[in-house]
């Protein structure tokens, strides 16, 4: 089977362009697979990622979630409002700074995250079936390192042609 024109153009442009295309396609495939899992729990992508990031530490502030997700505060506020209404997150004033509001994942919220991640683990296990674990670890390590580098540096200026 001949490669699609988009795959051929990515390859012709070089490995970086090919990687960009593969990352885009993989991201969309992941989102397509996770959407039914989220909908089954009554979550949107936004509410899930806010809950997921908050569950990393168990509690935190909305500003921290906005920073980690690279979204605006109004977006996080809307997601958190929904999570609080659904009983997945609790808001409380900080003991250390009464002006600050601390968000805490409820036991129900932790169970929801665990269920979604469990189903998602099974999906990824199926996607990587037959791939040696060492190769999966290598891809994970390389993408993690690229992410750290991209977050730590400004875009490279391009010279005019």
**Which residues are within 8 A (CB) of 103 and not within 5 positions of it... i.e. 6 or more apart?**
54, 59, 60, 61, 62, 65, 80, 89, 90, 91
- Per-residue pLDDT of the chain (161 residues), as tens digits, is 555 555 555 456 688 889 889 989 988 998 898 899 899 999 999 999 999 999 988 778 888 899 888 899 999 999 999 999 999 999 887 677 767 788 999 999 999 999 999 988 998 899 999 999 999 999 999 888 888 888 886 555 555 54
In the chain, the domains with their CATH numbers are: 34-123 (1.10.10.10)
Q: Under 8 Å CB-to-CB from 104, ≥6 apart: which residues?
A: 58, 59, 89, 90, 92
pTM for this model (two decimals): 0.75
What 3-state DSSP class applies to 103?
strand
**Distance separating alpha carbons of residues 90 and 103, to the nearest angstrom:** 6
The CA distance from 81 to 2, in Å, is 49
pLDDT of the residue at 50: 94
Say what the pLDDT of residue 43 is.
Answer: 96
């Amino acid at each position: 089977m001949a490669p699609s024109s988009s795959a051929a153009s990515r390859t012709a442009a070089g490995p970086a362009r090919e990687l960009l295309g593969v990352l885009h396609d993989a991201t969309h495939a992941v989102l397509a697979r996770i959407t039914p899992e989220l909908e089954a729990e009554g979550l949107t992508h936004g509410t899930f990622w806010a809950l997921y990031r908050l569950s990393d530490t168990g509690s935190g502030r909305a500003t921290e979630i906005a920073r980690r997700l690279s979204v605006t505060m109004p977006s996080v506020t809307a997601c958190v409002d929904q999570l609080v209404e659904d009983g997945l997150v609790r808001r409380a004033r900080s003991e250390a700074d009464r002006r600050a509001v601390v968000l805490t994942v409820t036991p129900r919220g932790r169970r929801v995250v665990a269920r979604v991640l469990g189903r998602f683990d099974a999906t990824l296990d199926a996607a990587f079936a037959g791939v040696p674990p060492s190769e999966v670890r290598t891809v994970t390590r390389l993408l993690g390192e690229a992410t750290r580098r991209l977050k730590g540096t400004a875009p490279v200026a391009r010279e005019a042609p």
